Structure 1
Amino acid sequence: MGLFGVLFGWPLAPVQVLIRLGELIQEQVDQQLHDPAAVRRQLDEVEEALAAGRISEEEAATAMEEILQRMIS
């Protein structure tokens, strides 16, 4: 890297760390959105809410569609 790289790169280090942190967060979000176990849990929660009468059939169908769309997108 050399002396010039250290001198000129050091002020940008916080920005580089922030960018990497953003990338890590994005990877985690993508992993959770596409994790089959997480999707199954969300679908189970919708089914439980429907069975308990907390949501209507239409709301359950809409919620399930949104969950499945997030998984495939």
Structure 2
Amino acid sequence: MGLFTGLLLLPLAPVRGVIWVAEKVNETADRELHDPGVIRAQLAALNQELEDGNVSLKEFEREEEKLLDRLYAVRVRPAPNHRR
């Protein structure tokens, strides 16, 4: 990038910075949402909550079904292609 182009685009730097941060947050959230290890840890925590009596059986079953659906979806969905 030349000096002249850099000076012209300088006012847009904060916007590009915000966009970059938003993309990184989105990537991290997507990884955590679809990481089988994170889902298994959530299932383990939910099971512990049930054993401790902090959640009812009905609530446990509802949340467990959601987590198992997410885990299944992770296994059948194709790997993301991050090439640009």
Question: TM-score when scaled to structure 1?
Answer: 0.83
Instruction: Provide the alpha-carbon RMSD of the alignment.
Output: 1.7
1:9 equivalenced with 2:13 (yes/no): no
Shift in alpha-carbon separation, 1:5–1:69, aligned structure 2, 3 A: farther
Extract structure 1 runs of 4+ deviating beyond 6 A: none
Q: Which has the higher contact order (CA 8 A, sep 6+)?
A: 1
CA–CA separation in structure 2 for the residues paired with 1:52 and 1:43 = 14
Q: List alignment gaps of at least 5 residues for structure 2.
A: 75-84
Count matched residues. 73
The amino acid of 1:60's aligned partner reads: F
Taking structure 2 as the reference length, the TM-score comes to 0.74
Identity of aligned residues (%): 38
Q: What is residue 44 of structure 1 aligned with on the other side?
A: 44
